[in-house]
Chains A and B, each alone.
Chain A
Amino acid sequence: MSTAKVDRRVDHSHHFSSMDAEHEAGKQGVWLFMATEIMMFGGLFAGYFIYRFKFHDMYIAGGDSLDWKLGALNTLVLLFSSFTMAQAVTETMKGNNKKALKLVIITTLCALVFLVVKYFEYTAKIHHGLFPGFDLWNPDMDYISSKIRDVSILENTSPANLRLFYVLYFAMTGLHGIHILIGIGLMVWIMKRLKNNEFSPKYYTAVEGVGLYWHIVDIIWIFLFPLMYLI
């Protein structure tokens, strides 16, 4: 049905009774989708804990072999990007589309920095034979033992268990990385809309939704960082 295009800055879609109602519905939809994200990562976290309890020593070895400094750098980058994203939402609510645009650009740059750091981490691990797939798994044990706190834990466990650590490391941070990529896509989309001045103090659902998404991606990393790199 050729419903006339609605100017969302001042009006609501046909099936809602008011702009507020439409905004609330949109927000609730995003929250529910966030619940699915949490359940999806929840499966991986459950797997992480099960294997961690089963193969405790090897998980410590695995965690030590990661570069916590790079992890910490990425944590700071993401935390800062969450801050700029939150600012962008506030500015959109105030009607400053131009200012919000700049903040979203900064957020996107942070996301790119995160991915670049991750790229260097991944290539280093693959170089040392720590990618658990194809024929790439060929762990450089000298590299591992040079990294870990207490070399004696390597004596009575098998490298197969170390492999399970790296399976979950790559699966979880990889899936998280895909979410960062999707986030960049979403931010490009709202950048375009901010540039066209499509939002108003009464209509900013898309910016707020992307903001919520970005925060959840950030929060997942905040759990991943200590579980993978620190403990």
Chain B
Amino acid sequence: MSATDTHSHGGNYINCEKGLWSWLSTIDHKRIALMYFVSIMFFFLVGGLFAVLLRLELLTPEPLFMTGDMYNRAMTLHGSIMVFMVIVPGVPALLGNFALPIMIGAKDVAFPKLNLASWYCLMVGAIIAFLSLFWGGVDTGWTFYTPYSGRSADAVTMVVLGAFVMGFSSILTGVNFIVTVHKLRAPGMTMMRMPLFVWSLYATAIIQVIATPVLGITLLLLVFERVFGIGIFDASMGGDPVLFQHFFWFYSHPAVYIMIIPAMGIVSEVIATFSQKTIFGYKAIAFSSLAISAISFLVWGHHMFVSGQSALAGSIFSVLTMLVGVPTAIKLFNWVATMYRGNITLTTPMLYAINFLALFTIGGVTGLFLAAFNIDVHLHDTYFVVAHFHYTMLGGALMGFFAGLFYWFPKMTGRMYNEFQGKISAIMTFVGFNLTFIPQFIMGSQGMPRRYHTYDGIFTPFHVTSTVGSWIVASGFIFAIFIMARDMFKGKKCEEANPWGATTLEWTIPSPPIHENFKEIPTVTGRPYEYR
């Protein structure tokens, strides 16, 4: 080995170098993960702020403090920030970056410099997107449907370009993870000995690599449409606006699995650890991740049941969409079977994981309602859809994300967060979340359309409940972030490397880890989850 001995000064990856530049130029996957931590939490707070403002505006049927234009802009920003800057990069780029190499016994990801480049792509894309605020904002919704997006305010170009650049971030992370999993496993770490979180990141990376470039070209064509007026999506020039929808959802439906599969991986780890059992159905969970990513490419048409596609196409997409329920249910049953007769400790990560189980199940089942062609025609573009995807994205992806953040917090920082306060935050988010979104299911089934600035007075009680709920869920998440931000510096130092009694490789090394993770690359001899 030619690498210099890097463990001499400072004890771990955090304090081995000092100064802002040492962070901005680092190629250590753990430090890059911490940079994602800070930036994604910032984006999450901004996106959440817009959500709270939207809910506040909806407190009364009449306009309260926003004009319709402002409302549309705030809604677009909320969606774009949460999707492109928080949920898509959230689990893979932050927790995956931190944990994946250590979990498979590697010193780093395969391409450390690309890893840093992908953080910069996210930042540059985010800055471009935020600049749109100074060009008057964007009011198309995060889906940028044509022909409207081809003609509305100038700032659309900025946001679309921003999303294009952020796409590179996602692609680079995906390429990096696939190669890392294939080429950098420790001796003896076969594929079937990888922890399930690694499996889920691997399945996600495949989608990131294959689907994201299609979004890239779609957004680029939209930019051309706006800048040159090429008319490819504009019916008045012979183009086809529905083609945009096909292109867009060919990426964006698989993208929702980019968001949820890694969270499922976290839940697999957390539930096994805090039930003090080996995960039930390891292979079934591993392969169901791959199954979801395979099916995800065949279901995009269910977003377009009312866009004029043929009844036959609609029926096929309907059936294919329901197929996603099978591997998803396999996972859920296996998690519950893992908990069955387990010695369960209700720590903060476990509470967030249980939040995930409850909320994601509701999100998944209502997804089946929407997958049914004929029911969707009734529920399309109503609050039912809004509630459904918030149950999967906020109740699923983000609850899993926070479970993972608290779970690996001692590993990342070497300090313990305040357990009692953490539990309070988990309970607050659960209560607030349901209070916010259960009324939206009811409103939606009664016909309350989404993306509207005002509404009929009969929906007032539901909207008021929903708004009150949004205050509770927002406070819960802000509290959780506050706990982590405070205890990152002030928390009690961990006495042992493995406070949870977890049984994967990353817990066998000190917390926080040394600069290159392992003094000597371990040789793996046992099955996954055998590091007791």
Q: How far is the CB of A144 from chain B (nearest CB, A)?
A: 16
Convert B141-175 into 0s and 1s, putting 1 for each residue whose CB lies closer than 8 angstroms to a CB of A: 00000000000000000000000000000010011
Q: Is B183 an interface residue (CB 8 A)?
A: yes
Q: Which residues of A contact B82 (CB under 8 A)?
A: none
B2 touches A39 (CB 8 A): no
Q: How far is the CA of A16 from the CA of B1 in the complex (A)?
A: 9
Q: How far is the CA of A24 from the CA of B179 in the complex (A)?
A: 9
Convert A1-44 into 0s and 1s, putting 1 for each residue whose CB lies closer than 8 angstroms to a CB of B: 11110110001011111000100111011001101110111111
Q: How far is the CA of A39 from the CA of B170 in the complex (A)?
A: 15
Q: How far is the CA of A224 from the CA of B171 in the complex (A)?
A: 25
Q: Is A215 an interface residue (CB 8 A)?
A: no
Q: Interface SS of chain A: helix, strand, loop or mixed?
A: helix
Specify which of A17, A35, A163 is in contact with B238 (CB 8 Å cutoff): A163
Convert A141-170 into 0s and 1s, putting 1 for each residue whose CB lies closer than 8 angstroms to a CB of B: 000000000000000001011011001101
Q: Is B210 an interface residue (CB 8 A)?
A: yes
Q: How far is the CA of A170 from the CA of B231 in the complex (A)?
A: 13
Q: How far is the CA of A170 from the CA of B214 in the complex (A)?
A: 18
A15 touches B214 (CB 8 A): no
B2 touches A6 (CB 8 A): yes
A39 touches B231 (CB 8 A): no
Given A17-B521, A32-B178, A133-B229; A40-B4 close (CB under 8 Å): no
Partner-binding segment picked from B104-112, B275-283, B341-349, B468-476: B104-112
Q: How far is the CB of A8 from chain B (nearest CB, A)?
A: 10
With both beta carbons as reference points, the residue of chain A lying nearest to B205 in the complex is identified as A32
With both beta carbons as reference points, the residue of chain A lying nearest to B168 in the complex is identified as A36
Q: Is A134 an interface residue (CB 8 A)?
A: yes
Q: How far is the CB of B268 from chain A (nearest CB, A)?
A: 25
Q: How far is the CA of A163 from the CA of B238 in the complex (A)?
A: 8
B182 touches A28 (CB 8 A): yes
Partner-binding segment picked from B58-66, B216-224, B365-373, B426-434: B216-224
B183 touches A25 (CB 8 A): yes
B183 touches A132 (CB 8 A): no
Q: Which residues of B contact A51 (CB under 8 A)?
A: 240
Given A40-B213, A43-B214, A133-B228; A16-B4 close (CB under 8 Å): no
B1 touches A14 (CB 8 A): yes
Q: Is A122 an interface residue (CB 8 A)?
A: no
B184 touches A16 (CB 8 A): yes
Q: Which residues of B contact A168 (CB under 8 A)?
A: 232
Convert B224-242 into 0s and 1s, putting 1 for each residue whose CB lies closer than 8 angstroms to a CB of A: 1001111110000111100
Q: How far is the CA of A171 from the CA of B223 in the complex (A)?
A: 11
Given A2-B4, A25-B183; A36-B209 close (CB under 8 Å): yes
B209 touches A35 (CB 8 A): yes
B107 touches A14 (CB 8 A): yes
A43 touches B217 (CB 8 A): yes
Q: How far is the CB of A206 from chain B (nearest CB, A)?
A: 13
Q: How far is the CB of A217 from chain B (nearest CB, A)?
A: 15
B212 touches A132 (CB 8 A): no
Given A29-B175, A171-B221; A132-B228 close (CB under 8 Å): yes
Q: How far is the CA of A210 from the CA of B388 in the complex (A)?
A: 45
Most B-side CB within 10 Å, residue of A1, A11, A37, A42: A1
Within 8 A of A (CB), among B112-139: 112, 114
Within 8 A of A (CB), among B343-401: none
Q: Is B28 an interface residue (CB 8 A)?
A: yes
Q: Is A188 an interface residue (CB 8 A)?
A: no
Q: Is B515 an interface residue (CB 8 A)?
A: yes
Q: How far is the CA of A7 from the CA of B2 in the complex (A)?
A: 9
Q: How far is the CB of A166 from chain B (nearest CB, A)?
A: 9
Q: How many residues of A contact B (CB 8 A)?
A: 48
Q: How far is the CA of A209 from the CA of B240 in the complex (A)?
A: 38
Q: Which residues of A contact B269 (CB under 8 A)?
A: none
Convert B490-523 into 0s and 1s, putting 1 for each residue whose CB lies closer than 8 angstroms to a CB of A: 0000000000000000000000000110000100
Q: How far is the CA of A37 from the CA of B171 in the complex (A)?
A: 11
Q: Is A55 an interface residue (CB 8 A)?
A: yes
Q: How far is the CA of A2 from the CA of B5 in the complex (A)?
A: 10
Q: Which residues of B contact A160 (CB under 8 A)?
A: 237-238
Convert A53-72 into 0s and 1s, putting 1 for each residue whose CB lies closer than 8 angstroms to a CB of B: 01100000000000000000
Q: Which residues of B contact A16 (CB under 8 A)?
A: 184
Most B-side CB within 10 Å, residue of A2, A6, A25: A25
Q: Is B459 an interface residue (CB 8 A)?
A: no
Q: Which residues of B contact A171 (CB under 8 A)?
A: 221, 224, 230, 232
Q: Is A50 an interface residue (CB 8 A)?
A: yes
Q: Is A47 an interface residue (CB 8 A)?
A: yes
Q: Which residues of A contact B521 (CB under 8 A)?
A: 17
Given A4-B4, A39-B214; A15-B184 close (CB under 8 Å): yes
Q: How far is the CA of A227 from the CA of B220 in the complex (A)?
A: 22
Given A25-B184, A39-B210, A132-B228; A15-B112 close (CB under 8 Å): yes
Q: Which residues of A contact B171 (CB under 8 A)?
A: 33, 36
B230 touches A36 (CB 8 A): no
Q: How far is the CA of A37 from the CA of B209 in the complex (A)?
A: 10
Q: How far is the CA of A132 from the CA of B229 in the complex (A)?
A: 7
Q: Which residues of B contact A167 (CB under 8 A)?
A: 230-232, 239
Q: Is B211 an interface residue (CB 8 A)?
A: yes
- Residues on A close to B: CB < 8 A? 1-4, 6-7, 11, 13-17, 21, 24-26, 28-29, 32-33, 35-37, 39-44, 46-47, 50-51, 54-55, 132-134, 158, 160-161, 163-164, 167-168, 170-171, 175
Chosen A-B contacts, 22 in total, with CB atoms closer than 8 Å, are A1-B515, A2-B17, A14-B1, A14-B108, A16-B184, A26-B111, A32-B174, A32-B175, A32-B179, A36-B212, A39-B210, A43-B217, A43-B218, A43-B247, A43-B250, A50-B243, A132-B230, A133-B230, A161-B238, A163-B237, A164-B238, A167-B230
| Other 9 A-B pairs with CB < 8 A, given A6-B2, A25-B182, A36-B209 | A6-B3, A14-B1, A39-B213, A40-B213, A47-B221, A164-B231, A164-B232, A171-B224, A171-B230
